Structure 1
Amino acid sequence: MTDSLAPPLSVGFVLLRRFTMLPFAAFVDCLRLAADEGDRSRQLRCHWVFMTSAGQDAISSCGAAITPCTAFREPTEFDYIVTIGGVQDEHDDVDETAIAYLRRAARAGVPLIGVCTGVFALIKAGVMGGRRCCVSWYHHGDLTRRFPDIEPVADRLFVDDGNRLTCAGGTAAADLAAYLVERHLGKAWAMKSLHIMLIDEVRRGDHPQPQPVVFDKVEDRVVRRAIGIIEQHLGEVITVDELARRVGTSRRNIERKFRDELGVGPQKFARDLRLRYGLWLLHYTAKSVTEIGERCGFSDTAHFSRHFRDAFGATPSTVRKTASGREAIQVDPFFLHIESRPAQEA
């Protein structure tokens, strides 16, 4: 624990129009709980201010308003300036006052943090040149389309690139806030915040984002449980016997249920899912083909490439080269569906 007389951690929040409530609340509550003993919420060890362009109330994407807010203050009052973005609509007017403020803060050397689509504002302000940029997989396609010169990172929770920090949003904002609390106040205060928030695992920046692997139309409870286990172990091959043991049934029964429900056996289903995950990684991350093959549980690149070509009609290298073009294999950005219909075993 650090000296209680150390200067407080001071954070200014720039709340953009229709900002997302969850990452904002997760970030500021982590500061609040670290700031004082118990749950008393006095701004002792941490200090924060909510800011909008004219000091007006900040309206979130869900309609809730944050008040009171102040107009933008001198950037050097803060250790960090955190920009919380929200719903993206290219037809919305850009808050030029906020963009100018971020440029001013950058010139003053104040570290800038972009949370959720707050990173879009940092890019518009021209302060992300040559920087790594963390974004949620959900917004990856929108960012690459609108800002082709920026290379986003969508396979981790947050990125600390010196005086530019970017975060995917959601509950990852609590992880980033705890990271900063630990840096300035000590690990004990960071853990205090997380534990009161009922977060029992400290997730570092390189912790992977949850991937959009979701299945519908699966009614059998055994099959659903087995799919959950397979999803959690995409980087390894689980034998059918082991899978059956984990869900409490026999090999024969689980194979029969998979064929009845999905038209394929569990082994092929698991391999196809790992290949779909590899396809997703090729589209939404900058990892090499070799890294992706290993992450998807294939023993070597040749093995991965052969099965990938059989499944999608193109090699991983070809997909990587054309991932942003018209000929790209399209990946549903929300779900990877497996329908309940008969299919041939490969």
Structure 2
Amino acid sequence: MTVRHRVAVLALDGVMALDLGIPSQVFGCATDSAGHRLYETRICTPDGGPIRCSAGFAVQPDHGLDLLGWADTVIVPGIHREHLGTFAAGPAMAALRAAHTAGKRIMSICTGAFALAAAGLLDGRPAATHWAYADDFRARYPQIKLDAEVLFIDDGDVLTSAGVAAGLDLCLHVVRRDHGSEVANRAARRCVVAPWRDGGQAQFIERPLPAVGDASTAATRDWALARLGEPLDLDQLARHARMSVRTFTRRFREETGLSPGRWLTRQRVEHARHLLESTDLSIDQIAGRAGFGTAVSLRQHLRAAVGTAPLSYRRTFRTPA
């Protein structure tokens, strides 16, 4: 029998309706090859009673804060701006701190990061939240290393995400981290969403429209993805896009939220993970096909991305023949 990972979603006053449903949807679609669910998701409120969500209707949970003791992972969804300053103290914050101390994985979606910050769980850590609330977040919590350009941040035992749909990205990332790309991709297909989105939320921040005639880097990204095993540098990418290096770098970051180098490394790591999971190729062969050149380079980049070595990753996530 499959042992399900237990997820508690803590809904606070003013919870964002879409954010509240994301964990149940994504984790509910994560199954093994036999179709058995890998997660069990339940919802709670601070007193076990109904709360109003941002969409104007009430949410009636089945549980109170005792659910956090049951859970392996605790998630705080986004909260409407009117409620962001209302939970600096109280039993919910104490319960979040106790859950973290007990070794539970803690996550937030969108402005749920404000609750984690109020509980003191993000002090000195990197964190993400919706770009529109970045200035407010920095003013309230200057001790936190906010990155307003990424879709999510995985800091090990505490994970935070940007606005709304970035909660999908974060939950799929957690499924991928727990069970590998095959399970995460299957869950993404069930949810009819992309299993991995390039770049960060920088591409969604409001800014003036580009001048007429500014070209996209999309075709060059597709071209690079088909050549991950080849040596590619910034000059080659800019030349393919028919732009100067300066223009290409600026446009690329606007469209993806990443520098060309960081984006290329991320794609190579993802390709290497796929090959480790789905083939019997040697580590040297995978390093070559992914564009890392040597097993040493692959090992360094994979450990930086997912915290493990290629052979360990393969033993954990290799799809049985």
TM-score range, shorter chain: 0.5 to 0.7
Map of 1:190 onto structure 2: 184
Is 1:68 aligned with 2:66? Answer: no
The alignment partner of 1:69 has SS state of coil
Q: Deviations over 1:285-331 (max 9, x none)?
A: xxxxxx97999xxxxxxxxxxxxxxxxxxxxxxxxxxxxxxxxxxxx
Letter in 1 for 2:58: A
Q: With CA pairs under 8 Å and 6+ residues apart, which has the higher RCO, 1 or 2? A: 1
Tell me the TM-score normalised to structure 1 length: 0.58
| Number of equivalent positions | 242
Aligned partner (choices 150, 168, 171) of residue 174 of structure 1: 168
Map of 1:13 onto structure 2: 9
Which 5+ residue runs of structure 2 have no aligned equivalent? 222-233, 263-321
Q: Deviations over 1:130-166 (max 9, x none)?
A: 2211222222111111111111012221111111111
Q: Are residues 136 and 228 of structure 1, via their aligned partners in 2, closer, same or farther at CA, if it must alter by over 3 Å?
A: farther
Range 119-128 or range 72-81, more displaced: 72-81
Query: Structure 1 CA distance, aligned partners of 2:119 and 2:185?
Result: 34
Q: Deviations over 1:180-232 (max 9, x none)?
A: 2233344333212211222234248xx322422555799xxxx4xx4573799
Is 1:208 aligned with 2:208? Answer: no
Preserved contact between residue 109 and residue 166 of structure 2 (Cα < 8 Å): no
Matches within 5 A, 1:118-129: 118-129=112-123
Q: Are residues 194 and 127 of structure 1, via their aligned partners in 2, closer, same or farther at CA, if it must alter by over 3 Å?
A: same
Aligned partner (choices 213, 223, 229) of residue 216 of structure 2: 229
Matches within 5 A, 1:226-265: 226-227=213-214, 229=216
Query: Structure 2 CA distance, aligned partners of 1:15 and 1:193?
Result: 23
Map of 2:272 onto structure 1: none
Is 1:30 aligned with 2:23? Answer: no
Tell me the TM-score normalised to structure 2 length: 0.62
Query: Structure 1 CA distance, aligned partners of 2:151 and 2:84?
Result: 28
Map of 1:137 onto structure 2: 131
- In the TM superposition, what is the alpha-carbon distance from 1:23 to its structure 2 partner? 2.8
Query: Structure 2 CA distance, aligned partners of 1:65 and 1:38?
Result: 37
Query: Structure 1 CA distance, aligned partners of 2:139 and 2:148?
Result: 14
Query: Structure 1 CA distance, aligned partners of 2:119 and 2:84?
Result: 18
The alignment partner of 1:229 has SS state of coil
Preserved contact between residue 9 and residue 184 of structure 1 (Cα < 8 Å): no
Segments ≥4 residues shifted beyond 4 Å: 35-39, 213-218, 230-240, 291-295
Query: Structure 2 CA distance, aligned partners of 1:71 and 1:126?
Result: 21
Structure (1 or 2) with the larger CA radius of gyration: 1
Query: Structure 1 CA distance, aligned partners of 2:84 and 2:107?
Result: 24
Q: Are residues 93 and 213 of structure 1, via their aligned partners in 2, closer, same or farther at CA, if it must alter by over 3 Å?
A: closer
Letter in 2 for 1:208: G
Q: Are residues 202 and 146 of structure 1, via their aligned partners in 2, closer, same or farther at CA, if it must alter by over 3 Å?
A: same
Matches within 5 A, 1:226-305: 226-227=213-214, 229=216, 274=250
Map of 1:45 onto structure 2: 38
- In the TM superposition, what is the alpha-carbon distance from 1:12 to its structure 2 partner? 0.2
**By percentage of residues, which structure has more helix?**
2
Query: Structure 2 CA distance, aligned partners of 1:38 and 1:59?
Result: 38
Map of 2:103 onto structure 1: 109
Is 1:55 aligned with 2:63? Answer: no
Preserved contact between residue 7 and residue 41 of structure 2 (Cα < 8 Å): yes
Query: Structure 1 CA distance, aligned partners of 2:60 and 2:77?
Result: 15
Preserved contact between residue 24 and residue 173 of structure 1 (Cα < 8 Å): no
Is 1:88 aligned with 2:84? Answer: no
